[in-house]
Structure 1
Amino acid sequence: MTEALVKLDSVSVEFDGRAVVDRVTLSLQRGDIITVIGPNGAGKTTLIKTVLGIQRPTRGQLAMAADLVIGYVPQRLTLEPTLPLSVQRFMLLSGHNLAECTSALGRTGVSHLLGASVHHLSGGERQRLLLARALVRKPDLLVLDEPAQGVDINGQATLYELIRELRDELHCGVIMISHDLHLVMAATDKVICLNQHVCCSGFPEDISKDPAFIETFGHQVAESLAVYHHNHNHRHNLHGDVVGAGDTGGGCGHDHH
Structure 2
Amino acid sequence: MDSNILIQAKDVGIQLGGRQVLKHVDLTLRKGELLTLIGPNGAGKTTLVRIVLGLMKAQQGSLRRAAGLRIGYMPQKVFVEPTLPLTVKRFIELGGAANSQKNSLSAESALAEVNVSHLLGQQVSALSGGEMQRVLLARALSQSPDMLVLDEPAQGVDISGQLELYELINGIRKAHNCGVLMVSHDLHLVMAATDQVICLNQHICCHGKPEQVSNDPAYLALFGRKEAETLAVYTHHHNHSHDIAGDVVRTHKHV
Is residue 216 of structure 1 aligned with residue 250 of structure 2? no
How far does the alpha carbon of each residue in 1:217-246 deviate from its partner, in whole angstroms, 9 at most, with x for none?
A: 0010222246742549xxxxxxxxxxxxxx
5+ residue gaps in structure 1? 233-257
**How far is 1:81 from its partner?**
2.5
Aligned equivalent of 1:247: none
SS in 1 for 2:5: coil
Which one of 121, 127, 133 corresponds to residue 127 of structure 2?
A: 121
Give the letter for the 1:171 counterpart. Answer: N
**How far is 1:109 from its partner?**
1.2
**Structure 1 residues 64 and 228: alpha-carbon distance in aligned structure 2, compared to 1, 3 A threshold:** closer
Give the letter for the 2:13 counterpart. Answer: S
Aligned equivalent of 1:170: 176
**How far is 1:82 from its partner?**
2.2
**TM-score, length basis structure 2:** 0.86
Give the letter for the 2:7 counterpart. Answer: V
Aligned equivalent of 1:133: 139
Is residue 41 of structure 1 aligned with residue 42 of structure 2? yes
Larger Rg computed on CA atoms: 2
Is residue 17 of structure 1 aligned with residue 25 of structure 2? no
Q: Is residue 86–residue 116 contact of structure 1 (8 Å, CA) maintained in 2?
A: yes
Q: Is residue 145–residue 177 contact of structure 1 (8 Å, CA) maintained in 2?
A: yes
How far does the alpha carbon of each residue in 1:93-117 deviate from its partner, in whole angstroms, 9 at most, with x for none?
A: 2343498210110110111011111
Q: Is residue 205–residue 229 contact of structure 1 (8 Å, CA) maintained in 2?
A: no
After superposing the two structures, state which structure 1 stretch, 180-189 or 102-111, moved more. Answer: 180-189
Aligned equivalent of 1:112: 118
Give the letter for the 2:157 counterpart. Answer: V
**How far is 1:180 from its partner?**
0.6
**TM-score, length basis structure 1:** 0.86
Is residue 207 of structure 1 aligned with residue 213 of structure 2? yes
How far does the alpha carbon of each residue in 1:144-192 deviate from its partner, in whole angstroms, 9 at most, with x for none?
A: 0000000111111111111111101111100010011101212311111
Aligned equivalent of 1:59: 60
**How far is 1:17 from its partner?**
2.4
Q: Is residue 211–residue 233 contact of structure 2 (8 Å, CA) maintained in 1?
A: no
5+ residue gaps in structure 2? 100-104, 239-255
Q: How many residues align?
A: 232
**How far is 1:130 from its partner?**
0.6
Q: Is residue 143–residue 176 contact of structure 1 (8 Å, CA) maintained in 2?
A: yes
Aligned equivalent of 1:74: 75
Is residue 183 of structure 1 aligned with residue 189 of structure 2? yes
Which one of 193, 198, 202 corresponds to residue 196 of structure 1?
A: 202
**Structure 1 residues 47 and 95: alpha-carbon distance in aligned structure 2, compared to 1, 3 A threshold:** closer
Aligned equivalent of 1:102: 108
**How far is 1:76 from its partner?**
0.1
**How far is 1:212 from its partner?**
0.2
Aligned equivalent of 2:153: 147
**How far is 1:80 from its partner?**
2.3
Identity, % of aligned positions: 57
**Structure 1 residues 154 and 184: alpha-carbon distance in aligned structure 2, compared to 1, 3 A threshold:** same
Is residue 157 of structure 1 aligned with residue 172 of structure 2? no
